[in-house]
A = this chain, B = another copy of it.
Amino acid sequence: MAGKFFSMRNLKFLLYEVFDCPALAGYDYYSQHNRKAVDMVLAAAAKMAGDLLWPILKEMDEHPPRLENGRVKVHADVKKILKEAGAGGWIGAHFPAELDGEQMPLMVGSAARFIFAAANYSGAVYADLCAGAAHLIAAFGSPRLIATYVPRMLSGSWQGTMALTEPQAGSSLSDIVTSAAPMGEGVYRIKGQKIFISAGDHDGAENVVHLMLAKIEGAPPGARGISLFVVPKKRPDASGYLADNDVTVTAVYHKLGYRGAPITELSMGEKNDCIGYLVGEPHQGLKYMFQMMNEARLGVGLGATAIASAAYYAALEYAKARTQGRKIHEKDPNLPQIPIIEHADVKRMLLFQRAVVEGSLALLLQCSLYADLEKITQGEEKERNHLLLELLTPVAKTYPSEMGILSVSAGLQCFGGYGYCDDFPLEQYYRDARIHPIHEGTTAIQGMDLLGRKVVMKDGQAFLLFAGEVDRVIQAAQDEPMLAPLSEKLREAMTRLQNVTLHLGRKARTEGVEPFLADAVLYLELFGIIVIAWQWLLQAQTARLALAKNCSQGEMNFYQGKLFACRYFFGYELPKTLGLAERLTAADNLTVEMPVNCFGD
């Protein structure tokens, strides 16, 4: 199995050269995280990924979780992973010092999360869920809930989950029916069923803490009646004794991939003895949960990028080593065969992968930076960072998820028939990657979120801010002879996006919301390509500046590689916006009009 699953050089390029992450240490909150500290964090993450996660990538896939006597058994190392994630401060990385957190910038934490997921996505997801769930309690829970749960979750002793989906309520969360009957003092009796709960139970943790959506009896119908509860598997009493809380695992799913993590079906209150603790105010649960969902959406984007990264480095290694054929103009069969990386089409497939991986990672770090700045700025600046993060979250979730699949598929293709066999990890990556457009809001949900909410919110202010961000990069690049044509292309593409957006705005007013949103997924695709082009131009600019200085041959290759990848993106990916814009400005509302009975037969 290939030994490289991510590029430390590239991470440092992004963190230090493109985004100036160490500048965050200038703010009080992040003051511990200067460059040296970040270097150490990255090295520690790489070590843990290489020592703990990577070696069991295949084992976890081959021995998926199983339900035995009501308990989910997972790989024996999961316990160790959680403990190390706790002891190493990874779970509490973004928590404040008062809660024993590291006050680490999200940028740095995202980089670490990326490293872990690139080594072993399933293995990395346990700790991520602990962090997200604990953050939700810390943000909205009572001091008592915080004291009881957060430390044990940050230490990796107790697993956290997000428990939203029900059999009749997947994408349509407002239709949940899990009920909560008040018993006084924020304590409720919970009854219901949840499905597709990641890490919903396993023997690698002492307890499992579900951050669960339910409806308090008599609550308003729909999304406005949803409340958030802490529902532990075992409930601790004052003395710390853990009593069974009547949460039953009824099934563990058999999945295409992502097999190292148990996805479970849960039943609460079969013995009428399941207790939940209200988080925050009644009926505000969906609003609270969006904090975790938004974090999880960036997490999915990171996971998707990470799997694509591991696939890319495996394919790159193979393409350098595997010989097959000769240069196309070379007719002499007596000459030795050449490494397949010499073939233009293999280079194209590798460039595609690199463009997706490094473009997506740049976007995710960019979003992390907005989150970091939102946290420590005030007033207009805070709002600015907030709006940019809100707007870009569906893109940062979806572009890596959708394109990650194609990227992994291109990696698999580089291996020919071997890519289809389990001698190499590509077939596993191909299976693992397919989850991402589904969980934490499908691509359709993200499309509607982007076009139906984020683009139109506050009179399009977020969109305008984004256009400003892109323009800043265009302006900076247009004076560079090599980058000027690319910057012009990005300007044209932005105009295209603006025209499409205006067209759809008119459609919303004249034809209503259904035609407006019918192709929201394509709008998201168009938006995503332009966002990644922006991130590539930014990287290319940084590389140009670096090349203008003295640098070693190795460094020159790295920066030149960046320029080639940027040219690839503008030459091969950005033109896709032409067809998308054509479709999105078409007059017919085909998918709205077509009657269902014209499918059949």
Tell me, yes or no, whether A578 is within 8 Å of chain B by CB.
yes
Interface membership of chain A positions 221-238, coded 1 if the CB is closer than 8 angstroms to chain B and 0 otherwise: 111000000000000000
Q: How many copies does the complex hold?
A: 2
Q: How far is the CA of A40 from the CA of B194 in the complex (A)?
A: 50
Q: Which residues on B sit within 8 Å (CB–CB) of A294? A: none
Is A92 on the interface with B (CB-CB < 8 A)? no
Find out whether the CB atom of B513 lies under 8 angstroms from the CB atom of A328.
yes
A76 at the interface (CB under 8 A from B): no
Residues of B within 8 Å of A263, CB to CB, are 417
Within 440-473 of A, Cβ neighbours of B (below 8 Å) are at 442-444, 447-448, 452
A564 within 8 A of B: yes
Interface: A212 (CB within 8 A) = no
Contacts of A222 in B (CB 8 A): 333-334
A571–B590 CB distance below 8 A? yes
Q: Which residues of B contact A9 (CB under 8 A)?
A: 601
Q: Identify which of residues 385-442 in chain A touch chain B, using a CB-to-CB cut-off of 8 Å.
A: 405, 409, 412-413, 416-417, 419-423, 427, 430-431, 434-435, 437-439, 442
Is A577 part of the contact surface with B, judged by Cβ < 8 Å?
yes
Given contacts A571-B590, A583-B575, A599-B561, is CB(A416)–CB(B442) below 8 Å? Answer: yes
A413 touches B431 (CB 8 A): no
- Which of these binds chain B: A42-50, A149-157, A182-190, A516-524? A516-524
Are B447 and A419 neighbours in the complex by a CB distance under 8 Å? Answer: no
Instruction: Identify the closest chain B residue to A559 (Cβ).
Output: B598
A598 to chain B, nearest CB (A): 4
Given contacts A256-B431, A422-B254, contact A348 B557 (CB under 8 A): no
A498 part of interface (Cβ distance < 8 Å): no
B594 adjacent to A564 (CB under 8 Å):
yes
Interface flag for A291 (CB, 8 Å): no
What chain B residues lie within 8 Å of A196 (beta carbons)?
417
A568 within 8 A of B: yes
The 8 A-B residue pairs with the shortest CB-CB distance in the complex, in nearest-first order: A222-B333, A575-B579, A344-B518, A561-B598, A256-B427, A172-B325, A578-B578, A575-B582
21 contacts between A and B (CB under 8 A): A165-B417, A169-B324, A170-B416, A175-B324, A222-B334, A329-B513, A341-B596, A341-B599, A344-B519, A344-B591, A345-B444, A345-B447, A345-B591, A347-B594, A416-B442, A522-B572, A557-B600, A557-B601, A564-B594, A567-B590, A568-B591
